[in-house]
Amino acid sequence: MANTIVNSIEDFDNSRQKLFKLKWFVVSLGIITSLFIIATIVLAILFGIERNKTKPDSLFVVNNTKPDPLFIVNNTDGICSSSYCIKAANTFLESIDETVDPCENFYQFTCGTWIKNTRIPEDSSDRNRFETLQTEVTYDVIDILSTSSSTNDTISVINARKLYASCIDEETIEKNDVNEILSLIDREFGGWPILQESIWNESKFDLIHLSVKLSQYKSFPLFYVLTDTDEKNSSMNCIYMGQGSLGLFDRSYYINESEITRSYRQFIKGIAMAFTNNSSINDTDVDEIFDFEKAIAENFLNTAGQHEGLFNRTNFGNLSTLMNTSFDFTDYLQRAYLLGNVTLNNTDIINIGELKVLRNISMIIKQNSPRTIQNYLIWRFIINQIGHMPKRFRVIQQQFYRIFIGTAIEKPRPIKCANYVNSNMGMVVSRLYIMKKFDKYSRQESMDMIKNIQNEFTNMINQSDWMDPSSKTVAIEKVQLVQQRVGYPDGLDSDNITNLNKIMHQYVMKKKKLLLTNS
């Protein structure tokens, strides 16, 4: 949003009054549009789920060229009276606290009853409308992934079900214990020094090699790298880089010593001890891991700061000059993309967020020993794998989570595994879901609703008397640039799945080897 505001302001003159009015208008436009779109998407999913429940056999009938209308409008008063509209209206009415004057406390008026009647599950730290809806969708996904594959299923669908089956198989996870993960850490990553004490050899430490290997397992603690649509040219892809993630999620937790930071250090030590079944873990290693992460955190931007920042746009050929760091980002990217058989060209575009943060991280790396950096990066990898490790590790993690985020128990295994498969094979899961559970007509109707919202905003702009013609032109352009992303990408519900299979063909699943399916 910040980018949008800045770009639009640059198109106008420097009149402070006009800038203020325009900024207020664009911000308001963005907020209101976002709220409308969010509400529309929620309604679309509710409608899709509800229609499927009430008419499960009619959604994908070939001869059904004219679906039943979602909205049945009473011609005398213009009010929708279909069962779908009634359900949607009732959903909102059940949330409203009618004893409150909306002019006095609008939030309490709109959400009061829902807050009063909603209980936070023991396996969650909060609850909202989206989570309620997500839970319903997740259980549908569990049903889909639990179904045995047929001879008509594509290899991508079969692999998704294999991945779910391996995740749900706790008996095999307990049987395999930690042999596989320890072997992987030693063979691919160079070992975890905290377990090897003085045996670990830092002369073999190669940070770029380690970072590339970790990226194969979606571990980006220092900085992230991804390929996505170019924000300046939606017909092209580009590389995005920015600050990574933190074990405690947000930098604010590292400012002062607290029960959470003490518990986090105990979490690190507890996991290391669970690998060795002894108490000889060196506290110095634990403290150095935490201190290194704290130094990183002190340079990270918080969420608000990330949203306010702009991307520094460059190309691969100029990356080293722009970064000007001891850590060779050019070499790292080159090696990382070669794993996917992609050779980067000097003209390839790279958008860098939090440039100053990345430079500071490079300095922190230079100031710390290879042992500390290796210990930290392997620790962050292990955090991501605990959910797929024996129960004794998950118990230690849950003890930490009880203090950190307030959850009393672990999420049910089927939910964790469904989310895991969805995060790794989202396109496959999405296709299965929309073909089995989602009403494709509600998606189109939702997109029509969004288009109507855009048209109404355009009319409001044209009718405004405080904006000059040039201001109106730019504001209308912003309205027209709102992208419709409802439900799922275009083509995912098509019978032609060649592109999906092409994307997923390199996924090789081993039913009894959950950890190794990441490679």
Query: Could you give the domains of the chain?
Result: 2-155+433-518 (no CATH), 178-389 (1.10.1380.10)
The reported pLDDT for the residue numbered 154 is: 83
**Least confident residue range of 50-54, 275-279, 387-391, 489-493:** 50-54
Residue-wise pLDDT for 33-59, tens only, equals 455 555 554 555 454 544 454 443 333
Q: Exposed e or buried b for every residue in 307-329, given b needs 16+ CB within 10 A?
A: eebebbebbbeebeebbebebbb
The reported pLDDT for the residue numbered 17 is: 37
The reported pLDDT for the residue numbered 303 is: 63
Q: Per-residue pLDDT for 463 more than 90? A: yes
**Least confident residue range of 52-56, 149-153, 294-298, 489-493:** 52-56
Tell me the mean pLDDT in the region 355-377. 97
Tell me the mean pLDDT in the region 20-34. 43
| Residue at token pair 């692999």 | 159
For residues 505 and 155, the answer to whether their CB atoms sit within 8 Å is yes
Residue-wise pLDDT for 174-225, tens only, equals 998 898 899 999 999 999 999 988 889 999 999 999 999 999 998 999 999 9
Residue 199 gets which letter from DSSP? Answer: G
More confident residue, 32 or 190: 190
Residue 133: which residues within 8 A CB-CB, separation 6 or more?
Answer: 42, 45, 46
Question: Nearest to residue 3, comparing CAs of 164, 232, 183?
Answer: 232
**Least confident residue range of 90-104, 360-374, 487-501:** 487-501
The reported pLDDT for the residue numbered 474 is: 92
More confident residue, 38 or 227: 227
The reported pLDDT for the residue numbered 135 is: 87
**Least confident residue range of 63-67, 136-140, 288-292, 451-455:** 63-67
Tell me the mean pLDDT in the region 494-511. 69
For residues 254 and 293, the answer to whether their CB atoms sit within 8 Å is yes
Cα-based distances in Å from 403 to 227, 389, 407? 36, 21, 8
Considering the chain, what is the average pLDDT of its residues?
Answer: 82
Q: Per-residue pLDDT for 445 more than 80? A: yes
Tell me the mean pLDDT in the region 427-449. 84
The reported pLDDT for the residue numbered 75 is: 52
Residue spans of beta strands (DSSP E) within 338-442: 349-352
Q: Strands 349-352 and 233-243: what pairing? A: parallel
Max CA separation in the chain (angstroms)? 84
**Least confident residue range of 167-181, 231-245, 292-306, 320-334:** 292-306
Residue-wise pLDDT for 104-126, tens only, equals 999 999 999 988 888 887 878 77
The reported pLDDT for the residue numbered 307 is: 52
Q: Per-residue pLDDT for 306 more than 80? A: no
The share of the chain scoring above pLDDT 90, in percent, equals 50
Q: Per-residue pLDDT for 318 more than 80? A: yes
CA 214, 219, 223, 227 dihedral sign is positive
Q: Per-residue pLDDT for 67 more than 90? A: no
The share of the chain scoring above pLDDT 70, in percent, equals 79
Long-range contacts of 200-205 (CB under 8 A, 24+ apart): 200/371, 200/374, 202/369, 202/370, 202/371, 202/374, 205/370, 205/373, 205/374
Question: Nearest to residue 239, comparing CAs of 325, 377, 353?
Answer: 353
